[in-house]
Structure 1
Amino acid sequence: MESRPIAAEVEAVERAIQYATITGCPLHFVHISSVEAVSVIEQARARDLNISLETCPHYLLFSHDVLTQKNNLGKCAPPLRQKEDQQKLRQAMKANRIDFLTSDHSPCEADLKDASTYNIFDAWGGINGGGLTLLGALQFAIEEEIDFQHVANWTAKHPAERFGIANRKGSIQEGKEADLVFVSLDEHLVTLDNMYAKHPLSLYTNERFQASIESVYSAGVEVFSRKVGPIQSKTGKWLTAY
């Protein structure tokens, strides 16, 4: 964390904003981990620059303290921050200062995260969490007593609007594709077996969520069931902005 401080994140954000100012290019920030960076982006947006931003569930749910428990499994970039910085970011998310919530999906073979083989600088960097993004968003909402409508905005509506596919994705409306997720408030324990991945080990392994995914539909076709697991389908297609 000290090798990649918040000051470095802010400087990188400021540099990208300067490039966007010069070129007029729309800009989207991924993996924002500090409220200081959020504030810099807000100042730029106040000047009518076309900028959006996101953070990841692990920055909201975990602090730097997790490295003392899970070692290299918690390595990511930017790094997990101090508890007080994590709390500030949670408040920013709660106040709708961050547009959406996405994964930093970076799986790897288990030995690349092995602390007995690799130190923190040489270990694989990134969090295997793409399949748990929605559960992470729901967990944050439950802990902060936020209406689930905001979860739908963070993970579906706002991304679809930002990237020009809201005419067919991002919300439940007549004429749009039936991309649906059914959830329950049954507890979900993350295990290597229910990650359904080639490389299932994750920062989230053995973590408990206060919600679970019951089923997932892509364009009206069921592609996942809690009882069955992933269901083979061919609904995927390349999306272009309108």
Structure 2
Amino acid sequence: MIRCIAVDDEAYATRIIADHIAKIPFLELVATCTSAIEALQLIQQGGIDLVFMDIQMPDLTGIQFLKLLGSKCKVILTTAYPEYALEGYEHDVVDYLLKPIAFDRFYKAANKALALLSPASEQTVAPAPVAPAPSTPPAATADYMFVKGESKNKFLKINHNDILYIEGLKNYISVFTNEQRIITYQTLRDLEKQLPQPPFYRVHKSYIVSIDKIRLVDGNQLYIGQQAIPIGETYRDDFFRLIRDDSQ
């Protein structure tokens, strides 16, 4: 049983976490806290394995909390702000959950914690293999690519066919698949060079989409699943020429 606490300055957010925890047999909620300082005091008393921690807290931010916490227990960050993901991973967090947190995504994060906290897994799970001392992610091959992970010399393999769309946010990107959202420190322009065209096509200064995954085009927006993605003016003519050619 993993003993955990939920920390968020908004009480309704801790109730959502508590409801999710109650549905998972291997999690036990010990307490909910609206103060990061209160959470640290609980952890100091011992017996806490896992913390679900909001980043935007009034007394200590989630990142400051991680620095003070050290290795006393595992942490899953919860936040509405994706820009803190890379910094969170630098502090060895288990996972990074973006609000609103769907239960299926929460369950995956809980299973990651279970794997890390299980004594058996600590003995048998080997570190992920990495390429020998690369300074940049390896170039994409025919049907997959590698993107930089949360630690030095760690790269994540993503199959091209799994990618729905990619969103660029300043100096990092979010790669969306059916199963997960992967955040990596890289520019959209650099990633665009790694992707085969087709099926990938840049439709906006902030978006690359897989043409194969488009469900609907309506005016200046396209839809992948329920996600609406804008078609930028700079890319509009080429995009509509592309889909007209494909329809003939």
TM over 0.5: no
Greater relative CO, 1 or 2 (CA 8 Å, sep 6+): 1
Greater fraction of residues in strand: 2
For normalisation by structure 2, the TM-score amounts to 0.31
